Structure 1
């Protein structure tokens, strides 16, 4: 019963966890599914990294961040644009030149004869009001404008730094996705190997129990009478229970393969077979403090936090730039098209250009910039506190996984020895039972104990592999090379 409970809890859990990632890596249905036989762990990881949609999404995140970085860099370049407008006014624009009198110099006068033959000397000339047309009401204006920032108080450089750290964070997120896919695939792969080995143990136990049942029946019907009918019924009950347990083990093996199939993002009905026949065991000899230190170097979450801190510092510089002046060059080239050639659209005025330097000095903005700086500083302080939490959390995670790894490593020797002893005990009891030297329940107990000890040993090996894979995920892929370098 313990064998059945263990397999249901461990392998069904893997299948359930695989379902959580179904939205990230939905398999593609196919009418004729290809077959994947003798897949190694590396083959499965390569397929998962190539097909998994979460990994593809993270690549697009990198493209987005790279495009944002290039957008920020564009602020260093001149901004050039063309603007054209065509307009029709309700009437021709005009200018009213007011009437006035032009005074003549002292001593000068102009004789003017009025009706009646009278001559009057004029000392000033009256000019009547004049209506001057400026241009035709239909007008087309085109202009070429260019600006180049010379000094922005560090605003552009700060935005570029933030975009650069955003790109770095996107790359770390992509690496974290790769680590997650690798970790999940590794667990499901060894889960499939575990399911296959447990099924083999279950079938072997059932076969031996069936042989024992035949022997019990012979001893009951033809023996000395020491074996009773209750012994036969007890043995038969155990055989039938084992048949049910083997059916559960077969289902668990299929669930483990289904979880692995989902992790590799291949069609759900694709037949797969893992190449590994046994769960490997490689002792890990690594100092806990070294692993914690390496996690601060390679963990993608830690790297993203550092990128966030750098971006937050740049955000403070961006906010402070609001207190500083801005200097820039500007220039424009204009062309006016109008059917009128007088007024303000003379040939000399149709083409014009200008170039200059502009200066903007902020004087008062209602303390908006000051509070933006305060906000940016508060965000930086918040991130620093979160970094402390992450630092302790990473150390705790690594320590927990290291303890689990060492526990499984220590248990491996004892469970292996127990499995060997249980196998010898079962063999001795079977031979003794043939000579009617032991009771039926002793043989049944010995056979079940052998299965239990072997299953417990396999669970220890799987726990060791799972803890090591989880440690790779938390610390980073680089830890695998670090561990191998110590052997």
Structure 2
């Protein structure tokens, strides 16, 4: 009979411990999921990972495309004003050059011989108008530029940035582990604190109920008389003790609710 009682006690204790473990695991899982610090730590890790990739990209060349576009109110005009003065010698040369258009060789040779026989003074200086307006640039201007940049030597700057980004990433990982361990520790502390407080509350509730019964019974004996030698001080003592138990019971209840709220806010 004794062995059966021990076995039953072990089974009940094992079942109760498994139930607590399951509830504790759920509490830890929910706390890790809802914990803001843990969420921020994971976002910081993602940011550190992107920074590390950005630092690694400094080892590779970059291709930059620059496009510039501009639109003016009007076209830019190049203006030239003046005259070209042609000397008599140059005029005679132009006259000889004009004979090249004559297809008949005999006629062309005769014409050239005649011009050559004339003195230079026979040809007057000529003036050509040099006034002109030329569009130097239109009102719309588009310019493109393609640049290829490759780091040849930076004095260790790139390698230092990469190492900083790598160490920052490791620090963020450690922060996540530390935050998770801190959350798990807090959940376990509050969880087992709640169980202990709840057990104390239940036990004290039973004691308080018994003390209420004893108080009422003592009062009845004191008022109606009995063979028991009950004094007024006995009733006052048990009444005081009952009040103290009630105060402690209320305090335990408040502590239990505070711990419950603490678990939900971890």
TM tier relative to shorter chain: 0.5 to 0.7
Residue 135 of structure 1 and its aligned partner are, at CA, apart by: 5.0
Contact 2:190–2:263 at 8 Å: present in 1 too?
Answer: yes
Q: 1:111 to 1:258 in 2, by over 3 A?
A: closer
Q: Which residue of 2 aligns with 1:140?
A: 142
CA RMSD of aligned residues (A): 3.8
Residue 60 of structure 1 and its aligned partner are, at CA, apart by: 0.9
Q: Which residue of 1 aligns with 2:29?
A: 46
Question: Which structure would you say has the larger RCO, counting Cα contacts within 8 Å and 6 or more residues apart?
Answer: 2
Aligned length: 213
Does residue 1:58 correspond to 2:59, yes or no? no
The 3-state SS of whatever aligns with 1:176 is: helix
Paired residues for 1:119-134 under 5 Å: 119=120
Q: Which residue of 2 aligns with 1:222?
A: 226
Q: 1:93 to 1:77 in 2, by over 3 A?
A: farther
Contact 2:208–2:246 at 8 Å: present in 1 too?
Answer: yes
Contact 2:75–2:139 at 8 Å: present in 1 too?
Answer: yes
**What does the per-residue CA deviation read over 1:250-293, in whole Å, with 9 as the maximum and x for residues that have no partner?**
23222221221222xxxxxxxxxxxxxxxxxxxxxxxxxxxxxx
Does residue 1:72 correspond to 2:55, yes or no? yes
Q: Which residue of 2 aligns with 1:168?
A: 170
Higher fraction of helix: 2
Does residue 1:91 correspond to 2:94, yes or no? no
TM-score, normalized by length of structure 1? Answer: 0.37
Q: Gapped runs of 5+ residues in structure 1?
A: 1-36, 102-109, 121-126, 264-487
2-side partners of 1:64 and 1:92: how far apart? 51
Residue 94 of structure 1 and its aligned partner are, at CA, apart by: 4.7
Q: 1:61 to 1:208 in 2, by over 3 A?
A: same
Q: Gapped runs of 5+ residues in structure 2?
A: 1-18, 93-117, 122-127
Contact 2:31–2:264 at 8 Å: present in 1 too?
Answer: no
2-side partners of 1:178 and 1:128: how far apart? 91
Q: 1:79 to 1:95 in 2, by over 3 A?
A: farther
Q: Which residue of 2 aligns with 1:231?
A: 234
Contact 2:65–2:146 at 8 Å: present in 1 too?
Answer: yes
**What does the per-residue CA deviation read over 1:156-194, in whole Å, with 9 as the maximum and x for residues that have no partner?**
111111111222222222222212222221221122112
Residue 215 of structure 1 and its aligned partner are, at CA, apart by: 6.0
Q: Which residue of 1 aligns with 2:244?
A: 241
Q: 1:232 to 1:82 in 2, by over 3 A?
A: same
Contact 2:201–2:252 at 8 Å: present in 1 too?
Answer: yes
TM-score, normalized by length of structure 2? Answer: 0.64
Q: Whose radius of gyration is greater, 1 or 2?
A: 2
